[in-house]
Structure 1
Amino acid sequence: MLDPIIDAHHHIWRQADQPWLQGPTVPRIFGPYDPIKRDYPIEEFLGDVEGTGVAGSVYVQTNWAPERAVEEVAFVTEAAERTGWPHAIVGFCNLFADDAADVLAAQAEFPLMRGVRQQLHWHENPQYRFAPGPNEMASPKFRDNLARLKDHGWLFELQVFAPQMEDAADLVDAFPNLTFVLEHAGMLEDDAPEAVERWRRGMARLAAFPNVATKLSGLGTFIHRNDPAHIATVTRETIAIFGAERCVWGSNFPIEKLWTDYGALVRSARDAVAPLGDADRKAVLHDNAVRLYRL
C-alpha cells in the first residue's frame, strides 16, 4: 500500500486574475509557458492527482495583483468549500506596504489561512529575479509587518537563492518564534561544482535554525524536466542537511505540468525517499506537512 502524501505546494488559478499570464509571454525561470496561460481550476488539479495517493494539499499564492490579496484567498476558499480541496492556504501580503496589517487581518477571517509567501528571490541573471534587490528582507517595514504573522499563528514561506541565504539567516535569527519554510529546497539553479557547494553552505546555514523547514518542490524549475536522478540527489542532500523531520514535499503544479504529468512527478518523489526508514519517509511525504500547516 502506498504511503499517503500531502502536496504542500500547488496552485489553482483563473487566467483572468493573473497579470503574469496575460499579454505577451516574457522569459521566466521555468522557460516557455504558453501551455499554462489558461485556467487551472481545482477540478483539473483533482483529476491530475487521482490515483497517486495524494490525500491533501496546500495552496500557495500565484501572484494576483497585490491589491487583490484578500480576493485571492476568498477565491481559493470558495474552491475548498465546493470540493473539499485544498486543505490549507498560503496567501500573499505585501509586507512592505503601509496597509499590510489590514490585509492580514482581512485574510485571517478565512479559516484555511496558514501563512504568507512574498517572493524575495533575486539573482544576477535578470531572468531569475523577482525582488527588486538581493536583501529586501532587511527592510524595517518588511520586518515590522512580518512580525504580525505570529499574531495569527502563521508561517512565512521564504524564497531565496543561495547567495541570499546569509542575509536570510539574519532574518530568521531575528524571528526565533516564527516558522519559516524555505521554498523549492533553496532553488539550486546551477549544477556547476562551485554553485552546488555555495548552495550546500547556504542550506546548512539556514538549517542551523530550528525554526526553518524546507520544501522539496519545484525541482524541475531550472532543468525544465522531471529528472528522477536529479530529484533524488537534491532530496537526499536536502534531507541530510535539514533532517527528515523538517522537509515536506510539494508538486508545484501546474508549473511542472509544462514538462511532466502529476503521476510521474509523484513516482519520482516516492523513489527519492524510498531509501529512508518508514517513519522518515512518512514524515517527508505526509506528517510534516500535517504539522506545519495544521491539517
Structure 2
Amino acid sequence: MDFQLTDDQVALRKGVRELLEGRFGGPALREAVAWDAAAPDPGAPALDRALWRELGDAGFFALRVPEDEGGVGLGLPEAVLAFEEAGRALLPGPLVATFLAARDVTGAARGETVVTAVSGGLVPWLDAADVVRGDATGAVPLRSVDPLTPLHRVPGDDGEAGGAPEADLLLAAEQLGSAGKTCETAVRYARERTQFGQPIGAFQAVKHLCAQMLVRTEVARAAVYAASVTGDTAEIAAAKLLADEAAVRGARDCLQVHGGMGFTWEADVHLHLKRAWVRAGLGQPAARAEEELAAAL
C-alpha cells in the first residue's frame, strides 16, 4: 500500500497551513490567550466566530461533504491532513464535533453553527456552542489546564462510552500536528542556542531527546495515515494511543530542550503540552483503546 501523499493532498496541506498561518499565526495565538486565566472568576475565552466562518468559507468543515450537497467531496485521509495542520497551529474550538456535524446540522459546514459534543465525559466549549451532541445534562465547568479549551464535565459520565472512531482519528491527527510542531521547535532551538561555545544540539543528551521526538512523531504519523485509509477501529485506537504519546512526550521533551525558557509564558511550548493533555482526555479512554487493540491482536 502506497502511503505517499498525492500532489492534490500536498497542495491541500499547504493551503490549510497557509490559511492558518495567515489567520491564526503567532500574534493571533498570543492575543487569544491574553485573557486573564488566573483571575478568581476568569470565565472562558471567546470563540472567534469570524475565524470559524472563514474556515467554513475555505471548505474546512465541508471537506467530507459530497459535492452534490455543496461540499468538497474529499475523503478521510484529506480530513486527517487538514486536522494535522489545525493541531500544528493550536487552532481553538470544537473543530471535530463541528466537522462531523457538517452534513446534518444546518450551518455547520459553512462555519455559521458551532457544534460541540460530549467526549470522554468532557464537553469542550459548551458555552460557545449552538448545538450540543450527546447528553450534557448537569454539566459542570472545570478549571481547564489549557487556556484555549474551556471544559465542562458531565456528572456520572466516566467516559467509558468513548466517541466515534472518526472523532478519535481526527483528535489523533491534531495530536500528530502538535507533535510535529514541537519536534521542529526543539530542533530549531537546539541549533540556535549556544552553550560553552557551541550549539546545544551538539550535546549527546539533547541529540537523543530530539531523535526520540522525531521517532515518536513518525511512528504516530504512519499509524494515523494508515488508519485514515483503512478506517479500521483497532487501527484508529492504536493511532490515537501513539499520537497522544507523541504529542504529550514530545511537548515535555521540547520543554527540556528549551530549559528554563520553555516554562515561561512567552514560549508556545507549554501551550502545546496543555492542549495535548486535554486532547488525550477526549474521545475513547486510553485504557479502553488498549483493550480494544489487544483484543484485535
What TM-score range do you get, normalising by the shorter chain?
under 0.3
Decide which structure has greater helix share.
2
Decide which structure has greater strand share.
1
Q: Under a length normalisation based on structure 1, what TM-score does the superposition of the two structures give?
A: 0.27
Higher relative CO (Cα under 8 Å, sequence separation at least 6) belongs to: 1
